[in-house]
Amino acid sequence: MTTATSRYASAVLPGALALALALPALVCAEETRAGAVDWETGAGKSYVIPAAEIAGFIFGLNQFNRHVSGEKDYDSDPDTFWKNFWRAPRFDRDPFSINQLGHPY
């Protein structure tokens, strides 16, 4: 990793992390003012907060891998995104024990 990239990563990533952590709280506070969620009926629930959290986590993890870890094993770019988006998924033929225990560890 070059010095400029290192400085960029050390300056931008903490700010992006802080924004990702604060965004759901800001959205939640805004929704609370607009109307409270009724936990019995589910009225007033939001799908925006979980969607933003998932997208933010995936983006943050990708950026951490790209700029900080230095590993190129799972490197991605827009070309790999579109290739994976338009190509059918491939499934492995590993047994249940490998998929449930082997891969996570």
Q: What is the C-alpha separation between 33 and 35, in angstroms, rounded?
A: 6
What single-letter DSSP state applies at residue 89?
A: P
CA distance 9 to 15: 10
Can you say how many angstroms the Cα of residue 61 is from the centroid of all Cα atoms in its chain? 6
- Give the integer Cα–Cα distance in Å for 50 and 54: 6
Tokens for 92, please give them. 């492995």
* pLDDT tens-digit series, residues 39-72: 778 777 888 989 999 999 988 888 887 788 777 7
Q: What's the predicted TM-score (pTM) here?
A: 0.41
Write the pLDDT tens digit of every residue in 4-21: 555 666 667 777 777 777
